Chain A
Amino acid sequence: MSMLDRLRRRRLGMRMNCAEVGEVLQRHLDGELDDGPSTIVEAHLDMCRRCGLEASIYADIKAALAEQGRLPEESVQRLRDFGERIAQGAPDDGR
């Protein structure tokens, strides 16, 4: 990234202060923020160590929680097979 690009990104990040970023940070991490504000938050996190650290804490927690949602492949396959049988017009209860 060129110096000019870095300056532009820094200016973009300064469109929100730390308090404003803090208010929308979790929505940003959840992908629930619109593209415009999300781009500003992203630029702010790049230039602000404190907010960047805050974001990384919640990203770590979110990732650890998501780990609990990992699915056994055999369960997924059984359900896909069941769904295929229904789609093929043989909707029995399979149990």
Chain B
Amino acid sequence: MTADAPTAESASARFERWVLPEVEVLLRVARSMTRNSHDAEDLVQDTMLRAYRSIDRFDGRYPRAWLMTIMRNAEINRHRRQRPSLLTAAQQRLPDPEADGGATAETAVINLTFDAAVEDAFERLSPDAREVIELVDIGGLTYAEAAGVAGIPEGTVMSRLHRARRRVRTTLEEQGYAAGMSR
């Protein structure tokens, strides 16, 4: 991507170009970070406001990584504002995703069962392992973007992620799931 001169266009145009296309990714990551759909929307709004205020200083390179850094800082501030005793109450799980309307009833049931087993295996992972899966598999970030958000090296993202998926796989095998049982 070519970086534009910081003052080449209005703040609004820059915001439309670099921030608005990232709304869905921002929301995915926010839901992973907050584990609460209402807090996630608040966090994305806060991130967009902060991005707008600092967009004149942004050089146009790697907008997603820039936004993720803003979001991470916003989330840290949000936690600082909350009393620790209230944090636990906010850790509500997101609602279950809807069933796939295009699948046959039988396939849909198998997929839902498999998906639930994967979710259960995911919940058993350590917080570090869950974080990288949340960022890459659920949030759709690249390894480099996930590294920026988590504040760890890219190689650590990769090793944690691969190890986490192997654990999920082992858990599924222990529950009797075999290859080809889903999708």
Give A contacts to B, CB under 8 Å: 26-27, 30-32, 53, 56-72, 75-76, 78-80, 82-84, 86-89, 91, 93-95
* Cα–Cα, bound, A50→B52 (Å): 51
B21-54 interface (Cβ within 8 A of A): 23-24, 26-28, 31-32, 37, 40-42, 44-45, 48-49, 52-53
B131-175 interface (Cβ within 8 A of A): 133, 136-140, 142-143, 158, 161-162, 165, 168-169, 172
Give B contacts to A, CB under 8 Å: 12, 15-16, 19-20, 23-24, 26-28, 31-32, 37, 40-42, 44-45, 48-49, 52-53, 94, 97-98, 111, 114-115, 118-119, 122, 133, 136-140, 142-143, 158, 161-162, 165, 168-169, 172, 179-180, 182-183
A-B pairs, top 8 by smallest CB distance, nearest first, are A64-B118, A65-B137, A69-B138, A64-B115, A70-B97, A60-B182, A57-B179, A87-B15
Which residue on chain A has the smallest CB distance to residue B117? A64
Dominant SS among interface residues on chain A: helix
